[in-house]
Chains A and B, each alone.
Chain A
Amino acid sequence: MTDNPPTANDARRSSARPPGLAATVGALLGKDLLVELRTLESVPGMSLFAVSTFVVFHFALNQNTVSGDEAAGILWVTLLFAAMLGVNRLFVADAEQGGFDGFLLAPVDRSAMLVAKALALLAYLIVLELVAVPAFGLLLLGSPLGQALPGLLAVLALADVGIAVIGTLIAALAVRTRARDLLGPLLALPLLVPVVIGGARASSPLLSIVHPGGLQLRWLGTLGLYDLVFGLIAYAVFDFLLED
């Protein structure tokens, strides 16, 4: 058997190495954020929904200020429904424009898509909250968040991770069905109820005007544990969701 001299193709193929998880996540996340930046399909809609809901609550409750459990409930339910708008659209461009197939043909770890999509959704949630939380303070608390803000940021961070992981898992499941707009919320909302409960209970004392309290560490721990459990579940089953 004789060895042929290396060709330009051989050189190119030998220099091509399958990218690692971080590089794949970077490629997918960059693409998702670029597509969102061009289309503005998710984040503006989510933000507008949240602000509109706070305006409606402001007039419907006929109160200048809300406090404690009531305030926390309004904040978290609004954020949850606003997040569902982003969840529903998370995989739409991939499903409709063949991005799934393009990704599945690449020699990469499929978990990268879970991580990248969850990070993209997390980024959308952060932008949403940058708009929605000040609007909430202005329209419903009647006072700046002030001292409550650091604690609230911790609760938001943990709850956002939970929403991002569960939302990504459910969005991947629902996107290939014909009734994805219905199926997504139907499946996601029951799974996200514990996140809302944890978020509301943890932030309720922070939003109380009469008896302001500190962070409820017990509920923060619950949120963290829930994030961890669903993170592991999502990692274990995500490959199967992408399979034929």
Chain B
Amino acid sequence: MIELDGLVRRYGEREVLSDVSLSLAGGQTLVVFGCNGAGKTTLLRVLATLLRPHAGEVEVLGCRLPDDAWQVRGRIGLLGHEPLLYRELTPRENLRFHARLHGVGTERVEELLAAVGLVDRAGEPLKTLSRGMVQRVAICRAVLHDPELLLLDEPWVSLDPAARELAWPLIGAGTGPDGRRTRVISSHDPGGGLAEADLVLGLRGGRVALLREAGSVDPSEITELYR
């Protein structure tokens, strides 16, 4: 599902990801920990085909990146720091726009708006909604096309407990095609992250500092990454 071998990514002269290698099977969840600037978001953007790897091998959903990136777009959902939504448009207009880009029917938009409890506010411009509500719309956008691979950059931030409960069936474990959606999540929450993970990756300065099955990782090892 995801195979990385010696992945390197630079911004200018600075190496943001250095020699990152891992293997994640289909249906599993990889949780990435690391302090700010450790390379978590960059890793997610490389997997999403938005950034090119500068060295190493990257294979996502059986396709090599960047050469076959066009084959995996549309099979990946990305929930990043930015909602990727237009502030002047309403949640319904934003989601219908993305639905058209993915060839998805408008009934799916209504289904998702209902799922995140935003039907009543779906006709108001996004700029008038709270951050948590915008995050809910962004979650709808990320799963609109029912992607096989979901890339989530700190997805639970800005969601209150009720909103988390609403969002869980959409992006939580065991969702997606056949309940076997593969997920890569970046997190700063050792307890919550470990609970969701099959595989744990800890990044420090763009390098792999921890890579193990979640069951064998102690929360204190994750806390150590932030020291």
Instruction: Give residues in A with beta carbon < 8 Å to B.
Output: 4, 7, 9-10, 12-13, 15-19, 23-24, 26-27, 30-31, 34-35, 38-39, 93, 97-99, 101-108, 243-244
B100 at the interface (CB under 8 A from A): yes
Known: A27-B100, A107-B70. Contact between A9 and B146, CB under 8 A? yes
Q: Cβ of A16: which chain B residues have Cβ within 8 Å of it?
A: 102-104, 145-146
Check if B50 sits within 8 Å of A13, measured CB to CB: no
Interface centre among B97, B105, B141 (most CB of A within 10 A): B97
State which of A10, A12, A93, A103 has its C-beta within 8 Å of the C-beta of B101: A103
Check if B78 sits within 8 Å of A101, measured CB to CB: yes
Given A12-B104, A16-B103, A31-B97: 7 more A-B contacts, CB < 8 Å: A16-B145, A31-B89, A39-B88, A98-B84, A101-B50, A105-B78, A108-B101
**Chain A's nearest CB lies how many Å from the CB of B61?**
12
Check if B97 sits within 8 Å of A106, measured CB to CB: no
Instruction: Give residues in B with beta carbon < 8 Å to A.
Output: 48-52, 70, 73-74, 76-78, 80, 82-89, 93, 97-98, 100-105, 108, 125, 141, 145-146, 176-178
Complex CA–CA separation, A30 to B48 (angstroms): 26
**Chain B's nearest CB lies how many Å from the CB of A171?**
17
State which of A12, A35, A97, A108 has its C-beta within 8 Å of the C-beta of B82: A97
Complex CA–CA separation, A38 to B178 (angstroms): 41
Q: Which 7 A-B pairs have the closest CB atoms?
A: A107-B74, A106-B101, A27-B100, A98-B84, A102-B84, A98-B82, A38-B88
Q: Cβ of B98: which chain A residues have Cβ within 8 Å of it?
A: 102, 106
**Chain A's nearest CB lies how many Å from the CB of B6?**
19
Check if B103 sits within 8 Å of A18, measured CB to CB: yes
Q: Cβ of A9: which chain B residues have Cβ within 8 Å of it?
A: 146, 176-178
CB-CB nearest in chain A for B52: A244
Complex CA–CA separation, A106 to B78 (angstroms): 11
Complex CA–CA separation, A243 to B70 (angstroms): 12
**Chain B's nearest CB lies how many Å from the CB of A169?**
22
Check if A97 sits within 8 Å of B51, measured CB to CB: no
**Chain A's nearest CB lies how many Å from the CB of B139?**
14
Complex CA–CA separation, A7 to B102 (angstroms): 20
Complex CA–CA separation, A107 to B73 (angstroms): 5
Check if A12 sits within 8 Å of B146, measured CB to CB: yes
Q: Cβ of B104: which chain A residues have Cβ within 8 Å of it?
A: 12, 16
Q: Cβ of B103: which chain A residues have Cβ within 8 Å of it?
A: 16-19, 23, 107
Known: A35-B86, A97-B85. Contact between A15 and B125, CB under 8 A? no
**Chain A's nearest CB lies how many Å from the CB of B33?**
24
Q: Cβ of B74: which chain A residues have Cβ within 8 Å of it?
A: 18, 105-107
Complex CA–CA separation, A13 to B104 (angstroms): 8
Complex CA–CA separation, A214 to B70 (angstroms): 51
Complex CA–CA separation, A127 to B105 (angstroms): 33
CB-CB nearest in chain A for B148: A13
**Chain B's nearest CB lies how many Å from the CB of A203?**
36
CB-CB nearest in chain A for B51: A244
Check if B50 sits within 8 Å of A244, measured CB to CB: yes
**Chain B's nearest CB lies how many Å from the CB of A99?**
6
Check if B88 sits within 8 Å of A106, measured CB to CB: no
